Every structure is written in C-alpha cells, then in structure tokens.
C-alpha cells in the first residue's frame, strides 16, 4: 500500500493515527518535499500548524526506525512562484502529481483537494479535518454578570473590569499567575474554536495578532513579537438598552425618524457609546429604515435584520462603495477615528445615507472639532447635524449643528459677515459654540453667559489678534485692553505712537478696517493698570499666556525657504495657540498633514523666527 499524505493530513496527524490503529502496518508512506517546504514555511512564520506538522513527520520517522512503515521523501521542493501561489493550489497540484506518478492513495483532510483529485482519477482517502479547540470558550469562567472585560497575560494575575457602565473598576480576579504554557493553551483554544464553531469567526489574522468574534465576546489575542508576551483581552457588552432608556428619548426618536441625519455619538472609552449606538440601530430598524453597520471588528449586538459589514479587503472605503449599491437608509459606523474614516463617513453622508458615527472624545464639542481640517468647513453641518455625548452610560449633552451667514458673536463690522457654524444646546436652543474662519484660521469660540465676567473666547481671540497686528508695527512693548465688543485701547511706547498711528492715521485705520474694531492708541504712561500686573516683558501681555504654559507641548519649528513649520502629528484639526516663553504669538489650526505652516515674510513668521533666534522656548497649547 502506497500512501501520499498532503499538508492538511500531516498537520492533523492522520498518518500516525492510522499507523497506531494498524491500518497502515507495512505501508509505504511517500511524503512530498512540497509538504515539507510548506510546513517549514509555516513554522518559520511562528504558526502552530507548521510545528504540529513537523512533529508528525518526526513520529513517522520513529515508526520507520521501528520497521512499522517505510518512509520516503519524494518529489522536488516548490519554486518561489509556486510557494507564492500556494493559496491558489500550486502546491496541492504538485502533491497530486506525485500521487499519480507513484500510483498511490492520496490522504487528505482538505475537501477541495479531495474533489479535485477524484476528478483527476486518483484514489483518495478523505478524512474530516480535526476539530481544534474546545468548541466553547475556556476563559468564559472568568466572566460574571458584572464583568465587561477580562485581561490575561503571561506571568501576571488575571484581571477584569467589573461594575456598571461608567463605573468600572479594574481589579485582580485570581491570585494565581498564568504561566506561558497555560496562556498558549487558552490562546490556541480561542483561535481554533472560532475557526471550527459556527458561533465564531476570525475578524483579523496577522502575525502576532488575532481578533476573534465568538458569540458576543470580542477577543484580541496578541503574541510575540507583536507583544512582549502572550496576552488575551476579551470584551463583551454587559447591558443592552433601548432608546427609551435614555434622556431626550422622545426628541431623539422624532429627530432620527424625521429624515436621514448625520449623527456623532461621542464619549470616553467605556462610557457606553456602542451600547447607545446599538439602541439607535434597533430603533431605526423598528422604524422601517434599512440599517447596516460598518465595524472593524464587528461587535455591536444588533438583531439579525441588521447586516454587519467589516472592512472589505482591509479598506472601509471599499465597504462604503459596496454599501452605496445596497442603499441603506442608515449606516452605523462604529469607531470613526482616522482621517480616512471621517472621509468615508462624509462621503456616505453627502451621498444621502443617514450616518451614525461612534467617536472617542472627552467633550461633545471635541467630536465636532475632529471634522475640522478633514471636511471642508462649510460642509460640516451637512455631514453632521447632531452630536450626542454619552457619559456614565447616559445621554449627557446633545448639540444641534447648523450653519448661518452672519457676523460672528462679539464682532460688529458688517464686512466681517461670513458662514458661521452654530452649535446649539438641543434641549434649550441656546448657542454654545461658533466655528468660523478668522484671519485664515478656523476657530471654535465658546459662547458664555452675558453675565460672565471672565474673558470670553471671542474676546480673548479679538484681543490676541489686535495685539498681533500692533506688535507687527510697534518696536517696543504692547498692551491691549478691550472696551466692549468693538473697541480696544492699545498702549505702546512713547517712541512708537506716531509710527503705529501713521501719517494721517492711515496705518492704524488699515488695522481697524482689517479687524473691524475701533482702536485708540495711547502710551503706557496713560495705562491706569500700569504697575498692577499689566505685564512689562516684551511681546505680549501677561494675560495672553493664560497660565497654561505648563500644559504646552514644547516644539522645535523647522525653517524652510518658504515656510516656518511646526510639526504636530496626532493633533490634526485641533485649534492651538503658539507661544514663545509663555508669550502669545498666534492661534492656528493643525492642518491635514499634521503640521502648522506659516509663510515666511508674514508678520507672524517674523515674530516666530525672532523668537527662535533669541532661543526662546516655543510651546503649543490648546486654544
């Protein structure tokens, strides 16, 4: 009897199994070199299947040494091209050719290989593939009714997050440390059970990382070299809610059902964003809307009528293209994080699909600001018209987002009218923020109560802009004091009075026209606050630093032939202040490329370059 096992039969140990039960006593086992090559490649990649196959070959060698079977290695090693084409059947074809050449029986656990071999007229012995894993979930024993996630790692004590939504506690749940052998057993069981069970699937399989969805558990299995040890993180939802369980339920139902909308659900990790998103998805489905989801990984707990899509070919843009053919009424986009995610979200929304995106943010307005720089400013209200902020599992804040052509709050000159994004409290209709372009920069200005004596965001912005303009003219120290919404008093050195005002008042008139503010120029000796903390160090008033320099990021600007560039990777779309030794220089929005670029020759660039030349510390702080 001649037997040619393929790679699947060797990995599953089917040859030694038949030798043990006497079926293959005295058989001639012909192992193709193509099988050895494939197992060697898998072992080099750190895959358990490769090591298991090599162990099987060693067992066969022991049987041959005991004269139980005859063992030969036959054929040639596959070429590089054939190895690359293994997934297309090139190596399987080599194995079939060897079986035909030696008139041997092909032993396989691969159903496709078996059917092709039968079609070729070969003798085939097909055995069901070994079911790996327990078929269940070994680590499920660590979960109880209040456990949201379990965290396991080699040589550490098992831990878990337990409690209620918004009030989770990270705690040790077992005093015995897990060793590497146990962690490997658990990790292999999770991955193999997901492959074999209809209740699970592999969401992501990369060297060093598997993400598994098994029933309602999302499990990340990390291994070296990606991680410094085997680590298993299993998460599951502990609460399933309905929209009626939340504040503003009636109003939100009416708003969502009225027409397709663009909604951002924001909150910090563990706040309950996904739980709220699935409640919205179920409500929309029950309201006769066709609802789909876009998730990577897929872990929203929704009903079977809502199809859950992941990244097609690893690219959510391809998923979006496919969904546009399906034409859902609403799509739930879980985890909108990167620039490409926001781009896909915006494209689908502008195509007329209702979109609900889940975003990490520590404030409601932060979720909206993440669109700045990623979506054209005037298009933002068309992409997102509702922001829902979740805190401790409850709806904390809801914003209504609209656009209006108007003079921004706090400015009065009619020629300053421009498109302004209005962010209003959904419940009261009270304006909370305005977002607009000011002096070529996108700014987000909080609108405080009229009785608030603290300097408002727009007042601070106006004062800083006046200060910047005058400092580009004056040679000495400058102080600015606002006198209402449309008037400012500027204090300069005696020698600078005539220079700042200019011939016939022309220079200061140009500044007034640009800013839309009446400016009264005086000397420092006329400042009633002089000597009482108005500030005397050159360049900026003390109030411009805001006391936040300790929170700033120290940066090293790069001076090129055309620009002064400040690299701010990871802060795309954020509005920030640039300071030199705690003195305010200017306000800017970090661009799409993750940097701030200032054109050389401009007043701002000159101030920045002067600060660099004087070895001043350049810092960036949130505006």
CATH label of the domain that carries residue 490: 3.30.300.20
CATH label of the domain that carries residue 26: 3.40.50.1010
Q: Is 299 part of any domain?
A: yes
| Residues 564 and 539 placed together within one structural domain of the fold | no
**What pLDDT, on the 0 to 100 scale, is given for residue 410?**
67
Q: How confident is the model over 177-193, as a mean pLDDT?
A: 89
| Residues 251 and 344 placed together within one structural domain of the fold | yes
- From 500, 515, 543, give the residue that closes a domain: 543
What are the pLDDT digits (tens) for 547-570? 333 457 888 888 887 788 898 877
| Residues 408 and 294 placed together within one structural domain of the fold | yes
Q: Which of 143-157, 339-353, 560-574 is the least confident region?
A: 560-574
| Residues 226 and 271 placed together within one structural domain of the fold | no
- The percent of residues in the chain predicted with pLDDT above 90, rounded, is 35
Q: How confident is the model at residue 538 (pLDDT cuts 50, 70, 90)?
A: very low
Q: Is 451 part of any domain?
A: no
Rounded to an integer, what distance in angstroms lies between the CA atom of residue 49 and that of residue 10? 10
Q: Is 62 part of any domain?
A: yes
Q: How confident is the model over 188-197, as a mean pLDDT?
A: 82
Q: What pTM was estimated for this model as a whole?
A: 0.56
DSSP state of 578: E
Q: Which of 17-26, 149-158, 272-281, 492-501 is the least confident region?
A: 492-501
CATH label of the domain that carries residue 263: 3.40.50.300
**What pLDDT, on the 0 to 100 scale, is given for residue 530?**
60
> Is residue 327 predicted with pLDDT exceeding 80?
yes
What are the pLDDT digits (tens) for 92-114? 889 999 999 999 999 998 889 89
Beta strands 553-554 and 558-559 are unpaired
| Residues 70 and 46 placed together within one structural domain of the fold | yes
- From 446, 479, 495, give the residue that closes a domain: 446
Q: Do 419 and 403 meet the contact criterion of CB atoms below 8 Å apart?
A: yes
Burial degree of 401 (CB within 10 A; 0-12, 13-18, 19+): buried
| Residues 386 and 271 placed together within one structural domain of the fold | yes
Rounded to an integer, what distance in angstroms lies between the CA atom of residue 127 and that of residue 118? 14
Q: Do 39 and 91 meet the contact criterion of CB atoms below 8 Å apart?
A: no
What are the pLDDT digits (tens) for 262-312? 999 999 887 889 889 999 999 999 999 999 999 987 878 888 899 999 889
Question: H helices then E strands: how many in the chain?
Answer: 18, 32
User: How many CB atoms neighbour CB 337 within 10 A?
Assistant: 12
Q: How confident is the model over 168-184, as a mean pLDDT?
A: 91
- Concatenated DSSP letters of 42-110: HHHTT-HHHHHHHHHHHHHHHHHHTTSSEEEEES-PPPHHHHHTGGGTHHHHHHHHHHHHTT-EEEES-
Q: Which residues are CB-neighbours of 406 under 8 A, at least 6 positions away?
A: 417, 418, 420
| Residues 560 and 618 placed together within one structural domain of the fold | yes
CATH label of the domain that carries residue 153: 3.30.450.90
Q: Is 131 part of any domain?
A: no
**What pLDDT, on the 0 to 100 scale, is given for residue 428?**
86
Q: Do 579 and 545 meet the contact criterion of CB atoms below 8 Å apart?
A: yes
| Structure-model confidence comparison of residues 548 and 613, the more confident one | 613
> Is residue 134 predicted with pLDDT exceeding 80?
no
Rounded to an integer, what distance in angstroms lies between the CA atom of residue 73 and that of residue 95? 12
> Is residue 596 predicted with pLDDT exceeding 60?
yes
| Residues 209 and 281 placed together within one structural domain of the fold | no
Q: Is 201 part of any domain?
A: yes
DSSP state of 299: -
Q: Is 132 part of any domain?
A: no
> Is residue 129 predicted with pLDDT exceeding 70?
no
User: How many CB atoms neighbour CB 265 within 10 A?
Assistant: 28
What is the average pLDDT value for the chain, to the nearest integer?
84
**What pLDDT, on the 0 to 100 scale, is given for residue 135?**
60
Q: How confident is the model at residue 406 (pLDDT cuts 50, 70, 90)?
A: confident
Q: Which of 247-251, 329-333, 451-455 is the least confident region?
A: 451-455
Q: How confident is the model over 38-61, as a mean pLDDT?
A: 85
**What pLDDT, on the 0 to 100 scale, is given for residue 91?**
86
Q: Is 452 part of any domain?
A: no
| Residues 371 and 225 placed together within one structural domain of the fold | no
Q: Is 313 part of any domain?
A: yes
Q: How confident is the model at residue 374 (pLDDT cuts 50, 70, 90)?
A: confident
What are the pLDDT digits (tens) for 434-484? 998 876 778 888 886 543 445 555 566 677 788 888 888 887 788 888 876
What are the pLDDT digits (tens) for 199-241? 888 888 888 889 888 888 889 999 988 999 999 999 887 777 8
**What pLDDT, on the 0 to 100 scale, is given for residue 533?**
38
Q: How many domains does the chain have?
A: 5
| Residues 414 and 462 placed together within one structural domain of the fold | no
| Residues 309 and 421 placed together within one structural domain of the fold | yes
| Residues 469 and 608 placed together within one structural domain of the fold | no
**What pLDDT, on the 0 to 100 scale, is given for residue 96?**
93
**What pLDDT, on the 0 to 100 scale, is given for residue 29?**
93
Residue-range definition of the domain harbouring residue 301: 243-446
């Amino acid at each position: 009897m001649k037997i040619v096992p393929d790679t699947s039969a060797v990995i599953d140990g089917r040859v030694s199994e038949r030798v043990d039960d006497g079926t293959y006593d005295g058989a001639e086992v012909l192992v193709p070199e193509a099988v050895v090559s494939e197992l060697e490649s898998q072992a080099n990649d750190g895959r358990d299947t490769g090591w298991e196959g090599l162990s099987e070959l060693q067992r066969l060698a022991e049987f041959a040494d005991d004269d139980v079977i005859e063992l030969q290695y036959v054929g040639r090693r596959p070429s590089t091209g054939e190895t690359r084409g293994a997934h297309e059947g090139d190596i399987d074809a080599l194995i079939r050719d060897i079986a035909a050449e030696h008139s041997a029986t092909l032993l396989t656990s691969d159903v496709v290989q078996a059917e092709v071999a039968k079609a070729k007229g070969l003798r085939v012995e097909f055995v069901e593939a070994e079911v790996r894993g327990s078929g269940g979930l070994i680590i499920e024993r660590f979960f109880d009714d209040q456990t949201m996630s379990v965290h396991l790692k080699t040589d550490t004590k098992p831990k878990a997050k337990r409690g209620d939504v918004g009030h989770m506690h990270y705690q040790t749940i077992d005093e015995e440390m897990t060793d590497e052998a146990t962690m490997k057993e658990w990790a292999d069981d999770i991955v193999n059970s997901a492959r074999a069970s209809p209740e699970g699937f592999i969401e992501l399989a990369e060297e060093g990382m598997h993400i598994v969805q098994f029933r309602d558990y999302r499990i990340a299995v990390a291994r070296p070299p990606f991680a410094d040890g085997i680590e298993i993180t299993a998460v599951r939802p502990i609460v399933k809610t309905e929209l009626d369980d939340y504040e503003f339920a009636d109003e939100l139902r009416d708003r969502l059902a009225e027409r397709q909308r663009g909604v951002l659900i924001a909150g910090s990790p563990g706040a309950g964003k996904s739980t709220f998103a699935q409640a919205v998805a179920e409500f929309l489905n029950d309201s006769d809307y066709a609802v789909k989801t876009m998730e990577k990984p897929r872990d929203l707990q929704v009903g079977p009528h809502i199809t859950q899509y992941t990244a097609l070919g690893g690219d959510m843009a391809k998923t979006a293209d496919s969904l546009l053919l399906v034409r859902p009424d609403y799509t739930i986009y879980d985890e909108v994080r990167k620039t490409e995610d926001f781009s896909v979200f915006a494209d689908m929304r502008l195509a007329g699909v209702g979109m609900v995106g889940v975003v990490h943010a520590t404030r409601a307005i932060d979720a909206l600001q993440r669109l700045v720089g990623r979506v054209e400013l005037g298009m933002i209200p068309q992409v997102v018209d509702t922001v829902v902020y979740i805190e401790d599992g409850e709806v904390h804040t809801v914003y209504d987002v609209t656009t209006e052509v108007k003079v921004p709050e706090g400015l009065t000159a009619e020629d300053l009218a421009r498109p302004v994004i209005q962010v209003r409290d959904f419940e009261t209709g009270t304006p909370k923020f305005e977002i607009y372009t000011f002096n070529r920069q996108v700014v987000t200005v909080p609108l405080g109560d009229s009785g608030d004596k603290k300097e408002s965001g727009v007042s601070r912005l106006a004062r800083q802009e006046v200060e910047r303009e005058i400092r580009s003219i004056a040679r000495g120290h400058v102080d600015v004091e606002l006198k209402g919404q449309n008037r400012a008093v500027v204090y300069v050195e005696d020698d600078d009075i005539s220079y700042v005002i200019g011939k016939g008042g022309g220079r200061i008139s140009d500044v007034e026209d640009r800013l839309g503010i009446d400016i009264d120029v005086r000397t420092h000796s006329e400042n009633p606050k002089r000597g009482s903390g108005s500030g005397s160090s050159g360049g900026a008033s003390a109030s411009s630093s805001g006391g936040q320099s300790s929170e700033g990021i120290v940066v090293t600007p790069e001076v090129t032939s055309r620009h002064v560039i400040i690299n701010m990777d990871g802060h795309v779309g954020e509005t920030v202040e640039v300071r030199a030794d705690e003195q305010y220089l200017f306000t800017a929005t970090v661009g799409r490329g993750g940097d701030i670029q200032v054109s050389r020759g401009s007043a701002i660039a000159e101030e920045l370059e002067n600060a660099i030349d004087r070895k001043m510390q350049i810092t960036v702080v949130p505006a």
